[in-house]
Structure 1
Amino acid sequence: MMFREERENKTNQAWNNLYQRLQEDGLLEQSVEVSGRRMFLTPRTLKWVASVAVLLLCGISVYWLHNAASTPLDRLALKNEKGNPTLVNTFEDGSTVYLSEQASLEYPVHFAKNERTVFLKGDAYFEVSGNPERPFIIETKAAFIKVIGTKFNVKSKNEAAFSLSVRSGIVKVISKKNGESTDVRAGQTVCLKADKLQTMQTRDYEQFNSYLKYIHFKDQTLSNVVRMINETTDSVQLKLAPELGDRLLTVTFSNDSPYTMAELICMALNLQLSQQQNIIYITQQK
């Protein structure tokens, strides 16, 4: 929508400049309606104007084709199909998104210096790294979401079903419909009903962990994978040898216990597993 409006503004400005040029040169006689303006052109001017118009439109087309072609180079896209496990992605700032099935996300190759903006369609859980000087902004079809650093779940499969539940921190939600905004705190959920933002206490806390039941990690650091596993259980905790944190892992878990997940990690990376009471240790092979 923003691109369409910008294109129309550029086109209207070009016609205005052309009209002013013709008026200054005294070439306005015959009446013609152009973009809401009535222009008066002499017959000898019509051919010249047509040529200019063709060049103008060609120039605009080239400009937008160039920008359309360059967009994929500037942005990255994630898309998760129906029936697929949760897709995990870690951004350059350390923030993480858990993308549900039938959801998609667009984000820049590099975030801007003053903000971190992504575009979401569907449901996703976010863990945003704190940075007061670079707020994290998520644009959905129904609302803008602005955070400094927090954990929250977004449901945005369609405009009418938008909701957001905060696990920790504070999240600002701004309705696209009327500009209404509200701050949502830990333990609260905001929903969009009848074009109004309504805040209530969160009842479904299982929604935060549901993303981790069937999950796919692609080229994620082992430290991130272990951290995410530890968030799903209090009975045992995985402890990773410090020198292994940057190892990359691609793996899928499906309702596996923490111990089974640790076993799969060790098999994939040729590591060693041991357990003492409620701590599972992952270390280098001796």
Structure 2
Amino acid sequence: MEDQMYITMAKILNGEATAAEQQEFRTWLAADPRNTEAFNELKAVWTEADVLLEAPRFAHEPAWDKVSSRLFTADKAEEPARKVIAFRPWMKYMTAAAAVLAIGVIFLKNFNQEARMVSVLASADNQEITLPDNSHITLKKGSKLEYPKKFDEAERHVALEGEAFFDVTRNEKQPFTIDAGAATVRVLGTSFDVKSGKEVAVVVSTGKVSVTSMVKEDVSVVLTPGEKGIVSDSQAHKQTVRSDNHLYWKTGELLFSNKSLEHVLGELQAYTGSRIRFADKTDAEVKEQEVNISFHKQSLENMLTDLCLVTKTRWTKKGSEYIISSKQNATPQALCCYLRAVAADRCLLCTAIRSAVTPLCSKKEDSQHQAVHRVHTARDWHRDFLEQFLHERKQAGHRYRNRTNSR
């Protein structure tokens, strides 16, 4: 085995191997079963080295005895039940050398990793980041990005937990790779959105992006602008994206054209992380009505209010859940209170309007005043009240003129 492969294995165990080195390592493992056995031995040494580093003081002689006893179990006959792998003498010395190398890499990692890596957590809000190659990243609130202060000459590698939008500076000689959990994202220069996790979701705005499973190389998709790819350990598929709504977390903008109310509410629920549902026994006609609407940096409640205005529905909140129901016609009592609120200027016509509708009202003044406040501040009732107000105004105007002419 070449010394370089031991170095590659050490990088694999330390999480510092490049994409090319990972590929080389997988090819080497598949070439010979003995390679897997050798790697497992080194992995055991690596684990032992981590335990040793946790001790207050590092005793070199006992540590080496402990490590070598794990490496050379093939020379001991006290465990007949275990499968024994006979190493040639030169392999023992090479493995021992690799153990020393592994321990050295651990020390190097402990002392220098903080100096070489930058870790950014967007804890309070979305955060803008400029990388050493002048690539720009918008990191979603609650997400984390790690990258080196200086990229390797062979590639630019970063690690993402959460979601971020990347605008990558093009450099064909230095590919840009993202460790996103279940998959690796690889580009030359483009802009795209990445959501990491057990399923990695990528939506491309410009350029071309390759997304490959970390477990199976043949599980991958190549995406172009307007396409979304979802890759897990064993599956990959893509679909067409017809809007930029997936960037709501970044832009605060949503656009819905010829979509059903049910679809719009489902999207709002997904993008805001809130619970939204229809009230029980809501008619299918209400759910399926077509909606054309856009939102720009609005709160969820403001978006629901605007949506209810154009769909003749209303929303209420129960605990943490928003419930959408059909809007009922305004009662005469509520209409009376609304008219009293909007007719507060005491003009002659408004007086006539109040006189015309007063008989419809309850005589409990406290309840009326409470209703005035409720109705006046409920935007989703405004349209129905306004329509009825205009009708009542017309009728009251007729009655007022009739009374004036009779005097």
- Shorter-chain TM-score bucket reads 0.5 to 0.7
Which of the numbers 103, 109, 123 marks the counterpart of 1:67? 109
* Alpha-carbon distance in structure 1 between the residues aligned to 2:231 and 2:71: 46
Which of the numbers 143, 164, 185 marks the counterpart of 1:103? 143
CA contact (8 A) 1:86 1:212 kept: no
Which of the numbers 178, 191, 207 marks the counterpart of 2:230? 191
Which of the numbers 196, 201, 211 marks the counterpart of 1:163? 201
* Alpha-carbon distance in structure 2 between the residues aligned to 1:63 and 1:32: 33
After TM superposition, list the pairs within 5 Å mapping 1:32-181 onto structure 2: 32-33=78-79, 37=84, 63-81=105-123, 84-156=124-196, 158-160=197-199, 162-179=200-217, 180-181=219-220
Partner SS for 1:110: coil
CA contact (8 A) 2:183 2:232 kept: no
**Residue deviations 1:68-95 (CA, integer Å, cap 9, x gap):** 23211111111122xx221110011110
**Residue deviations 1:173-217 (CA, integer Å, cap 9, x gap):** 111132112210000001136831111101441333641459xxx
Pick 1 or 2: higher relative contact order, CA cutoff 8 A, min separation 6. 1
* Alpha-carbon distance in structure 2 between the residues aligned to 1:63 and 1:118: 20
* Alpha-carbon distance in structure 2 between the residues aligned to 1:79 and 1:72: 15
Q: How many residues align?
A: 191
Partner SS for 2:173: coil
5+ residue gaps, structure 1: 40-52, 215-253, 257-286
Distance 1:58 1:188, change over 3 A: closer
After TM superposition, list the pairs within 5 Å mapping 1:216-255 onto structure 2: none
Amino acid at match of 2:42: N
Partner SS for 1:9: helix
Amino acid at match of 1:190: G
Amino acid at match of 1:31: A
Distance 1:151 1:9, change over 3 A: same
CA contact (8 A) 2:45 2:99 kept: no
**Residue deviations 1:27-50 (CA, integer Å, cap 9, x gap):** x7x6344996489xxxxxxxxxxx
The structure that has the greater radius of gyration is: 2
Q: TM-score, normalised by structure 1?
A: 0.56
* Alpha-carbon distance in structure 2 between the residues aligned to 1:150 and 1:91: 14
* Alpha-carbon distance in structure 2 between the residues aligned to 1:59 and 1:94: 35
The equivalent residue for 2:77 is: 31
CA contact (8 A) 1:130 1:149 kept: yes
Partner SS for 1:106: strand
Amino acid at match of 1:211: K
Partner SS for 1:211: helix
* Alpha-carbon distance in structure 2 between the residues aligned to 1:169 and 1:69: 39
5+ residue gaps, structure 2: 1-10, 16-38, 47-66, 87-95, 254-295, 299-407
* Alpha-carbon distance in structure 2 between the residues aligned to 1:3 and 1:146: 22
How far residue 134 of structure 1 moved from its aligned partner, in angstroms, is 0.5
Which of the numbers 10, 13, 33 marks the counterpart of 1:3? 13
How far residue 4 of structure 1 moved from its aligned partner, in angstroms, is 6.0
* Alpha-carbon distance in structure 1 between the residues aligned to 2:238 and 2:13: 33
